[in-house]
Amino acid sequence: MNRRELLLTSTALGLATLTAVRPVIAADASPESAPPAPLPVPPSGSIPVAFLLSQGAVVIDFAGPWEVFESVSVVGRRDPAFNLYTVAETTQPLQASGGMTIVPQYTFKDAPAPKVVVIPAQNGAGDAALEWIRQVSRKTDVTMSVCTGAVVLARTGLLDGKSATTHHSSYTDFALQFPKVSLARGARFVEAGNVASSGGLSSGIDLSLRVVERYFGRDVAQRTAYYLEYQGQGWTDPNSNRVYRTRRASTAAHPLCPVCDMEVDPASAPQSVYRGATYYFCMESHKTLFDQSPQTFVDQLRESA
């Protein structure tokens, strides 16, 4: 499974029993910009950061934040700012996106207690992972998801009643799968208490820089970005994914999958006819989801247009 397929199927897996619920979704809204709330810095030692991994973990989703936290340097501090480690259900090698093999350092049973948890997009996080997230998040400063890692975080229930975001191609199915979560379209990242979520892929770098800023201040975060030669400014503005607020329009010349907005080839794409209109899909599983509750997806198309 390649990275694009993972992004498109990660939320679809949970929609197999989709019912016609009305999700909470703000198509033209995202969180208001606000000064970041400071996080407590221990007087000594390093802040522990756990990266939750399972099969299919998307490399940039965890490698981007890893490089951010690893690159932080605080003048006058003897210990590294952050202590980074990987956690999984077992320490058996797992395969990340693109075929990268990773050997996790810790299991859920022996991992050090984290103050920050990073949850990338992945397709192998089971019940044990969800319970571990719930347990450690009682004492974390930040439990953050990247891209469709928001699906894993939402499955724990920790996002219920809160705002969150995810990869723009997953807005619709995320909103349908998690009606108790208020989806923020066009948000680069969303912070809600000690849980946070970012948009797709590179957005995780910005949320990580935001976390650095909350611990050590903007100057340290800016120096970190400068060292990384990272020119993006998304970490300074939670609303900087505005381009994704408005859903792209599907046309006869360029039809889009109604589940994920991916452009499809009508000559070969799976299709369904509903109320006289033909809908094309990027994959058979998305056609199946649509066919289970077509009016739900049609309503979403209208509301987010």
pLDDT one-digit tens code per residue, 172-187: 989 989 999 999 999 9
Give me the pLDDT at residue 148, please. Answer: 98
Residue 246 pLDDT: 86
Using the CB atoms, write b or e for 29-38: b if 16+ within 10 Å: bbbeeeebee
Residue range of the domain that includes 281: 247-305
pLDDT recorded at residue 8: 54
Count of domains forming the chain: 2
Whether residues 185 and 288 fall in one domain: no
- 91-111, pLDDT tens digit by residue? 999 999 999 999 999 999 999
Residues 86 and 115 in one domain: yes
Chain segment 34-56, per-residue pLDDT in tens: 678 999 999 999 999 999 999 99
The average pLDDT across 18-32 equals: 47
CB atoms within 10 A of CB 243: 8
CATH number for 106: 3.40.50.880
Same domain, 125 and 262: no
Mean pLDDT for 260-280 is 94
* pLDDT, position 198: 98
Residues 198 and 212 in one domain: yes
Average pLDDT across the chain, whole number: 91
Confidence of residue 24 (pLDDT cuts 50, 70, 90): low
Mean pLDDT across 247-251: 88
Tokens of 36: 């970041």
Q: Given this model, what pLDDT does residue 303 score?
A: 74
Residue 29, helix vs strand vs coil: coil
Count Cα neighbours of 249 within 13 Å in the Cβ-side half-sphere: 4
